Chain A
Amino acid sequence: MIRFVLKRAIWVAPNILILTFLLFAILTSWLGSPSAMMLGLDASPAAISEMNRAYGFDDPIIQQYVRWLWAALQGDFGRSYATKQTVSSMIGSALPISIELGLWAICLSGFAAVGLNSLIPRGKISGSLISAVSVVSITIPNFMLGATLVYVFAIYLRWLPTSAWAPWSDGILDHLLHLILPVATLSAFYFGSFSMIYRAEYRSVMNQLFVRVARAKGLSATRVSLQHILPNSVLPVITFMGITLGQLMGGAVVTEVVFSLPGIGRTFVAAIRGNDYPVILAIGAIVLTGMMVTNLIADIVIAWINPQVRLSS
């Protein structure tokens, strides 16, 4: 098992290097120089080359990349051209918000999808209800669901705050109350995908002979479902949860906008609009790294569940 983890982990670093290099090259030279982007269409060639010299954009791309990487490894992603703040301070305040939102949403929707589909017998009305809810939850746009939830629970019933982020320092209760609606909105969306993936896998596993054998032992339907069918059908959901969590490190843009959360998604959109390449680059690199790491974690969890993977390496 330890060897399996090491073997997978060793590949993460070179992958991150290659991908961040490609990202760096695309943003700093292949799509035109940052100076031209920042100075705009009216900039004189003299001004552009002046800025290129000042910021080192004339240097070979590898040299620029190594310089950026070395600084980035020490937590220095440069300064935003738009806000003049350091990129690390902008990300430092936004990233934890997006990660927390993503973790809550992925865990909640993952557990709900797996739990509900394992415990509620299919074929019954309640089983059909879950598949209907899954389809609806995928098809309803996030902004619509978010706005509806705000109207019902915040404006009409006045049970929950409408929007904004309450940090932990405001008290745990306040923090969690502010999280309920955004997490519900985001979870609803992912619940549909997780539920459909899980149902498809569950259906094929439940027809396997070992499930009949488990019933022939006299085990209850619930135990057969949770002990024998669930662990065999949950693997694709874990992979998908890993990928999704990695993506959410780049922020849940719509949810953050609807609920005015100062997460990384809004920072990212603002940076793209303003051609703020140090910010785009930093967020891109973090999302990349995050996805690699969450994928690795998903693979490790899968290996831990499946002895064929765990013991063969």
Chain B
Amino acid sequence: MTALLTIQGLRTEFGGGDRSIVAVDGVDLSVERGATLGVVGESGCGKSALSLSIMGLLPEAGRVTAGRIIFDGRDIAHASPAIMRTIRGKRIAMVFQEPMTSLNPLFTIGFQIAEALREHEGRLTDRAARARIIDVLHRVRIPSPERRIDEYPHQMSGGMRQRVMIAMALSCSPDLLIADEPTTALDVTVQAQILDLLGELQAQTGMAMILITHDLGVVAEMADRIAVMYAGRIVEFATAAEIFDNAQHPYTLGLLGSIPRIENDRERLLAIEGAVPSPLRLPSGCRFHPRCVFAAPECSRADIRLTAVDVDHVSACLRAPVEGIRP
């Protein structure tokens, strides 16, 4: 069976000429139908640029300069706006990070969901559209949807607005849902509810999902496979179980919050030291080596590629497997 979405050698750049910034640098990924892919990394690692590249929603300065994005057998990396419009919202839907600003303040939520329906489902009577919207609001567990459908965004809480966004994304039964940090802006208790909801809806509809987050905890229960991104590249890609039990990239270990310090035996570190490098001054060799506790001199010289460390498990680390060098 072929994957629903296959990304090959994707390169996304912002700006032009000498000062262009490579936000996504040679990314290969795939998502099977009905499966969940977690994409994990710190802010600025290229996660959002990746999702916007798939949607064809890059801002004016951004563009895909290499690679292919094959969705359901067709390369959409450079598809025409007309073709992308038939895919966006209908076949690939997206939920964004900020529910407070995701909705237009001037229109009711019912109207805003109806827009997606009318765009993709052809002629709908007002009554039929309303019934569909109430049904989808019901599915995302919005209480009394018959009343809420006529409310404006400012009358709703952040959690409710994110449910509306999910309802909007689900309204046309997409094959793929991209959720870009869907819970980051929400309260902790609401985060769990939204994640549960996404999991349930996925089980009901059988859609595939790309869950983008900076928090490995968020994808722990939901993702089948996890891609860890650093500075525009994928540094580790494996099944969720492998990532949690057998991470082979020092950055993943850092994200897991369990990286052992070499000089301090058994002391646990909760943070990765240093900051994500500026995309204008990327380190040579392995882009993580300046922050890596395992770094060896060759890490700054070699061109490091993803290599298999196990079945269904690739890592871009010269020193993998890291068991041998663990203290």
A interface with B by C-beta (< 8 Å) = 123, 208-210, 212-221, 227-228, 231-232, 305-308, 311
Contact = CB atoms under 8 A, between A and B. Distances in A.
Contact of B115 (A219, A307, A308, A311): A219
B276 interface: no
A217 B96 contact: no
Contacts of B207: none
B89 A308 contact: no
Contacts of A209: 96, 98, 101-102
Contacts of B120: 218
Nearest to A218: B89
Nearest to A205: B104
A217 B119 CA distance: 8
B165 A123 contact: no
Q: Which of B101, B106, B165, B168 has the most CB of A within 10 A?
A: B106
A208 B103 CA distance: 10
The residue in A215, A218, A227 that gathers the most chain B C-beta atoms within 10 A of its C-beta is A218
A307 B151 CA distance: 10
B57 A215 contact: yes
B291 interface: no
Nearest to A215: B57
Interface string B13-50: 00000000000000000000000000000000000000
B116 interface: yes
Nearest to A231: B106
Q: Tell me the dominant secondary structure on chain A's binding face.
A: helix
Interface in B159-208: 165, 168
B86 A221 contact: no
B102 A221 contact: no
A219 B152 contact: no
Contacts, number: 71
Interface in B38-66: 55, 57, 60
Given A209-B98, A218-B90, A308 B152 contact: yes
A209 B87 CA distance: 20
Contacts of A231: 106
B88 A217 contact: yes
Given A215-B57, A219-B115, A308-B154, A210 B88 contact: no
Given A216-B88, A219-B115, A307-B105, 5 more contacts: A210-B103, A216-B55, A218-B86, A219-B89, A228-B104
B122 interface: no
Given A217-B115, A217-B116, A219-B115, A210 B102 contact: yes
Contacts of B152: 307-308, 311
B93 A216 contact: yes
Contacts of B94: 213, 216
Interface residues of B, number: 30
Nearest to B168: A217
A297 to B, nearest CB: 19
Interface of B: 55, 57, 60, 81, 84-90, 93-94, 96, 98, 101-106, 115-116, 119-120, 152, 154-155, 165, 168
Given A210-B101, A213-B96, A307-B154, A218 B119 contact: yes
Nearest to B103: A210
A221 B84 CA distance: 12
A158 to B, nearest CB: 46
A231 B152 CA distance: 15
Most buried by A among B88, B89, B104, B120: B104
Given A209-B96, A213-B96, A307-B154, A218 B106 contact: no
B105 A218 contact: no
B85 A210 contact: no
A213 B93 CA distance: 10
Contacts of B154: 307-308
A218 B104 contact: no
Contacts of B84: 218
B315 to A, nearest CB: 33
9 contacts: A212-B57, A216-B89, A216-B94, A217-B89, A217-B115, A218-B87, A219-B85, A228-B104, A232-B105
Contacts of A307: 105-106, 152, 154
Contacts of A227: 115
Given A307-B105, A307-B106, A218 B57 contact: no
Nearest to B165: A213
B119 A219 contact: yes
Contacts of B116: 217-218
A308 to B, nearest CB: 5
A194 to B, nearest CB: 20
Given A123-B60, A218-B88, A311-B152, A213 B119 contact: no
A216 B57 contact: yes
Ordered nearest first, which 7 A-B pairs have the shortest CB separation? A218-B89, A217-B89, A218-B88, A217-B116, A209-B101, A307-B152, A210-B104
A208 B119 contact: no
A213 B87 contact: no
Contacts of A228: 104
Contacts of A219: 85, 89, 115, 119
Contacts of B106: 231-232, 305-307
B96 to A, nearest CB: 6
B157 to A, nearest CB: 16
Contact of A308 (B81, B105, B165): B105
Given A231-B106, A306-B106, A308-B152, A215 B101 contact: no
Contacts of B90: 218
Nearest to B154: A308
A285 B168 CA distance: 53
A305 B101 CA distance: 18
A230 to B, nearest CB: 10
Nearest to A310: B152
